[in-house]
Chain A
Amino acid sequence: MLLKAEKITKQFLRESRNTNQFCAVQETDFTLEAGSFAILTGRSGSGKSTFLHMLSGLMTPTSGRVLIQEKEIYSLSDKDLSAFRNQHIGVIPQGQSALYSLNVLENICLPYTLYHKNAHQEEALALMEQLEIAHLQAAYPSELSGGELRRMAIARAFLRKPELILADEPTSDLDDENTKIVFAFLQKAAREGAAVLAVTHETDVSQFADKVFCMKAGVLTEQNSL
């Protein structure tokens, strides 16, 4: 059991009135095995991203626990949790996530350089090769297209070979062809042993996944796909 969420909930205060609480994610249990690829769908505002962020260690749940490799991540100090995320969790966020003052290769090597480790440039280049952006290594993010930027973010998330990959709408602004490339890549990562969870709006990608979940008004249900 690589990832295990126990009864996690998230409540937000809406507007300024303290009484009006909004429950983004209702008490939810969730597990993800190493080597499996899960897809999470749902309408906008259904709580998917909130759920994903709680799993990634970026948002403390109102109640419940998140365990990764038997470790309760929210009991760690910020320093330890950050280091843990750096090493074990690859996050692919929504939208743009490039540092515009660094070139593509430097952006991809960030997970290492943040921790003063030697940048593993060969590994980065190999990943870029697979994602077909190797020729862009010296380019700057402002010169890249949306699809190329997204593939850069994916390469960055995979650089430290994390056991858990969390992707938040990794293909939201991509065309069909790029979408296929990305999902095939995520599937391949799962085959190689990582646990992958992707939030998506795409309807025709369930073929890549082992499991499909759906979120509706903060409630998670598993769909019997295929």
Chain B
Amino acid sequence: MKKIMIPDVILCILSAVLCLGTKFGFHACGPKEDGGWMACHWAEQAVFGLGIVMLVLSIMMTFLLKDGKTKSGIALSLAGMAALALAVPNHLIMLCMMTDMRCHSVMKPAVMIISIFILGFSIAAYIFHRKEDSET
């Protein structure tokens, strides 16, 4: 059971992409001229925070933990967090006024796509680890 599962590794990569990408790649709109932030910045921060926790959890699941039950629990929590990340831009935290701004046109779709993939792979990982557990 020490074999490293492919969905787990993909989850690590996707979580890393989510938290690093929101900060440096597909970040939200920049600061205003007076130095203040627009609403979308807080959505970016929230996704970044979620991403860090997801990265830590997925690394634990992939490389550190051995027990199938624990792993499947982590996979489930990753699924929940992905759903949360999916809802953050523009639903839980409003983005900017115009949808042709960067937070709408770049950050929101990128976060959405990555979150959907994390959701899918974490459900797959959950199923795998459940099976793994019942086999032992």
Is there direct touching of A and B in the complex, by C-beta distance under 8 Å? no
B residues with CB within 8 A of A = none
A residues with CB within 8 A of B = none
